[in-house]
Amino acid sequence: MDDLVQALAGIVGQANVASGADAAPWASDWTGQYHGEPLAVARPADRDQVAAILRLAGARGLPVVPVSGNSGLNGGAMGQGAIMLSLDRMRRIREINPRARTAVVEAGVIVAALDAAAETHDLTFPLAFGASGQAMIGGVLSTNAGGANVLRYGNTRDLCLGLEVVLADGRVLDLMQALHKNNSGLDLRDLVIGAEGQLGIVTAAVVKLHPRPSQRVTAMVAMPALDRATDLLNALQDASGNAVVAFEFMPRAFIDGHLALRTDAREPFDAPHPVNLLVELAAARQGNLAEVLEEVLAARLEDGTVSDAVIAASEAQRQEMWSRREAAAEIAFARRPVLDTDIALPRDCVADFLRDVEPLLTAIDPGCQVLSVAHLGDGNIHYTCWPSRDDAALKDALRAEIDRLAVAMNGTFSAEHGVGLSKLGSMSRHKDPVALEVMRAIKDALDPQGILNPGKTIPR
């Protein structure tokens, strides 16, 4: 062990290697569900140091687990018995090009910091989720993260033009062209995005920036039932010229959970409602989005589709609305044992899924309780179970039933959080067998020693 630490120190400097008790900050994840003692944690300053670490690991046959902000939920950065490669020192925003609306960033740049830098040019990096103040570019690319603005801007993959990747043998794959069209063979960039470090270590990226909205209007909307929510979304899109950036669903149980979690939390409406939506419209063009929103909501209030609505009258009120939604992970993990899932369905199937799934779960575990919250605009549901006992087999049975119903409704068991460790069983059960064979073949071709984040993402 001392020999390994010294070898790593020779690459990154003694101050940038941690082992034993000093590695504790990297030994467990945010959820507290995954714990692993790494051999050592190395914090490289640049691409060449990453390459040198991978060559060292390859020569010794040691596994390497990359870690960015360590804000994942599925155990993708658990580093038991591995060299953990933390990219937190690689935080340079190398360039912002306002004319091309692009930025060149290193993998350790925090998502919120990039957006703040873009703001100085009246631009935005629109990836938005609760952990954006902790998550880093390398991590969100590795999981193809989503968030609240996917409806308008897409997932991380849709925001990336180019990549710099260090392969398992230390070679550098340079795909850093800032091109919107590049039909020159296989798209290796998209192959790496979402691979969770299985194929190489992302060290830098060229990302898209968008005009920062000059107007934004946000509201909480109550409905008596979820099955008409998609009609409301379509009406808002039609009336606003597709200006809806977020369309988030919180059931009554979620509101109760938020009130219990935060002593300063308030009810969104004067009376409780079964369906609570957070709706946001934004645009950089002229026009009055507030009037558009008010007109659509007024019509829906009149016909009974909408029960109540509150439009944010200030930025403080808007932030209060968003803080409620962004507390989702805290609410889910405030109780133990917990089973957190991340599925996606066609938008018009979400209400049917939520209606049908709970009886199936209580048939398996009559004492289990459930909580859901959804990026309704893109059909992504974060469905949480609190089983009656901490039993791995019980959790697996509950997850299997959630996955089975989602897949039966033409959905997926993994939407935006990655696979990591927690969804390996789901991959085995539901991923097309030929697709798994192809994934394994690609993994073996690019990482023949199997040193990159082994045991994650692709079931063997």
CATH 3.30.70.2740 placement within the chain: 335-418
CATH 3.30.465.10 placement within the chain: 93-211
CATH of 93-211, one of 3.40.50.1000, 3.30.465.10, 3.30.750.24, 3.90.1010.10: 3.30.465.10
| CATH top-level class of 335-418 | alpha beta
Nearest partner of 219 among 130, 301, 112, 286, judged by Cα? 301
Rounded Cα distance, 183 and 227, in Å: 41
Nearest partner of 184 among 175, 171, 193, judged by Cα? 175
Rounded Cα distance, 207 and 125, in Å: 8
CATH of domain 2-86: 3.30.43.10
CATH 3.30.70.2190 placement within the chain: 215-328
Rounded Cα distance, 347 and 128, in Å: 20
SS (H, E, C) 287-325: CCHHHHHHHHHHHHHHHCCCCEEEECCCHHHHHHHHHHH
Q: Which residues face 150 on adjacent strands? A: none
Single pTM value for the model: 0.95
- Tally DSSP H helices, then E strands, for the chain: 16, 18
Rounded Cα distance, 440 and 435, in Å: 9
CATH of 215-328, one of 3.30.70.2190, 3.40.50.720, 3.30.70.360, 3.90.1300.10: 3.30.70.2190
**Tens of pLDDT, residue by residue, the chain (460 residues):** 689 999 999 999 999 999 999 999 999 888 888 889 999 999 999 999 999 999 999 999 999 999 998 988 898 999 999 999 999 999 999 999 999 999 999 999 999 999 999 999 999 999 999 899 999 999 999 999 999 999 999 999 999 999 999 999 999 999 999 999 999 999 999 999 999 999 999 999 999 999 999 999 999 999 999 999 999 999 999 999 999 999 999 999 999 999 999 999 999 999 999 999 999 999 987 779 999 999 999 999 999 999 999 999 999 999 999 999 999 999 999 999 999 999 999 999 999 999 999 999 999 999 999 999 999 999 999 999 999 999 999 999 999 999 999 999 999 999 999 999 999 999 999 999 999 999 999 999 999 999 999 999 999 8
